[in-house]
Amino acid sequence: MTDEVNIHSHGNTGHLSLNRPKALHALTLDMCHAMSAALTDWAGDDAIEAVILDHAEGRGFCAGGDITLLRHSALNDGGESGRAFFHDEYRLNHQIFEYGKPIVAFMDGITMGGGVGIALPCKFRVATENTRFAMPESGIGLFPDVGGGWHLSRLHGRLGRFLALTGARLDGAECLWAGIATHYLPSDKLAEAKARIIEHPGRIGGILSELSVTPPAARIEKNAALIEKHFASDRLEDILASLAADDGEWAAKELATLRTKSPQTCKVALRQLAESEKLDSFADNMRMEYRIASRVLTRPDFAEGVRAVIVDKTNDPQWDPATPEGVSEDLLDKIFAPLPEGEEWTPLT
């Protein structure tokens, strides 16, 4: 176990509280293992009726995964330790998705990448005025993994494609409008919500509804028609051309944003969401995403993107391939291809 996750039970309620505040509670492999073990124990404990998932302190719910480990793996061990991290992190995502008892995630603060992966599979997802949701992987040459293909492809319209490509940040009101969150509570009501859930774990839905308030207008709603229009295609070149043909301020801003992103990531994400939309099981989605992760981890864009955005903070990544046209269908086929026998992702048994 690890002190980076506080694990308790209060009466009939389990409680997982992320506790890595200096890293905005970004997930390590030890944290994934600790949460998975606790959930396994509670699954077999008839006394536990529900689980609360939150963070102990600080402004982030969970800012992502262990990017430092992943980049080190890409540069030094051929991706071996990175693949091990992805494999078990994805097992946790799947375990939460399939969990037989209700889990309520309190997304009070930054909820990005790996944080999305543990929050969105939960039955109840609470946003607040502090929520900042994003899948920003296109900016570091990764891809919207941890179940992102499944979740984003099932948002209404083309919103998921827009979020996957641009890495746009949504606030709590926008998360509720999009269906990412199930409830919107003021942050000063969270302690009461948790106390009442602990006292009555069979009434989570009713308790959250009673404490919910009407959020501010969702800013993204006014751009929904533009997102639907310009992100209608599953070809990156078509999306860029559509934005370029629009002389409006919003289109120009999003076009400029997309031109900073990894062309490889954008094309991978578009295929990933199109494929995910057709899948019948979350396990199949995670199997596909593990194949992608195993290949993308050691391709040039990931180490370079992390260098430019996180390590050196120069924000000048040199993508390879440098253009959408350079990302061939043959390259995408190789990234999505099945792994050798014995290397495929498997769920926790």
- Residue 54 DSSP SS3: strand
Radius of gyration of the chain (CA): 20
Distance between CA atoms of residues 120 and 282, nearest Å: 12
3-state SS, 93-148, equals HHHHHCCCCCEEEEECCEEECHHHHHHCCCCEEEECCCCEEECCHHHCCCCCCCCH
Q: What is the pLDDT of residue 1?
A: 65
> Which candidate in 60, 79, 114, 115 is catalytic?
114
Q: Tell me the average pLDDT across 296-302.
A: 97
* Alpha-carbon span 65 to 75, nearest angstrom: 17
* Catalytic-role residue among 65, 113, 160, 172: 65
pTM over 0.85: yes
pLDDT band at 57 (very low <50, low <70, confident <90, very high): confident
Residue 282 reports pLDDT greater than 80 = yes
Q: Which residue has the tokens 């969990």?
A: 99
Q: Check if the beta carbon of residue 80 is closer than 8 Å to that of residue 127.
A: no
Identify whether 65 is a catalytic site residue: yes
Per-residue DSSP letter, 28: P
Q: What is the mean pLDDT of residues 303-319?
A: 96
Q: Say what the pLDDT of residue 98 is.
A: 98
Query: What average pLDDT does the segment 150-168 reach?
Result: 98
Q: What is the pLDDT of residues 203-259, one digit of tens each?
A: 999 999 999 999 999 999 999 999 999 999 999 999 999 999 999 999 999 999 999
Quick one: tokens of 232? 């209608």
Q: pLDDT tens digits for 100-118?
A: 999 999 999 999 999 999 9
**Confidence (pLDDT) at 59:** 82
Decide if 289 contacts 153 (C-beta within 8 A): no
Q: Which of 137, 174, 254, 301 is catalytic?
A: 137
**Rounded to whole angstroms, what are the CA distances from 207 to 8, 181, 322, 335?**
21, 15, 51, 45
Q: Give percent of the chain above pLDDT 70.
A: 100
Q: E-assigned strands of the chain?
A: 5-10, 13-18, 50-55, 60-62, 103-107, 110-112, 124-127, 132-134, 170-171, 183-184
Q: Note if 145 is an active site residue.
A: yes
Cβ(305)–Cβ(141) below 8 Å: yes
Residue of 4, 54, 66, 145 marked catalytic: 145
Measured between alpha carbons, how far is residue 136 from residues 13, 29, 234, 257 in Å? 33, 20, 19, 12
Percent of the chain with pLDDT over 90: 97
Q: Which of 25, 18, 13 is nearest to 56 (CA)?
A: 18
What residues contact residue 80 under an 8 Å CB cut-off, 6+ apart? 73
**Pairing mode, strands 103-107 and 50-55:** parallel
Ordered by where they begin, the domains of the chain are 5-336 (3.90.226.10)
Residue 309, Cβ neighbours under 10 Å: how many? Answer: 19
Whether the bond into 186 is cis, omega within 30 of 0: no
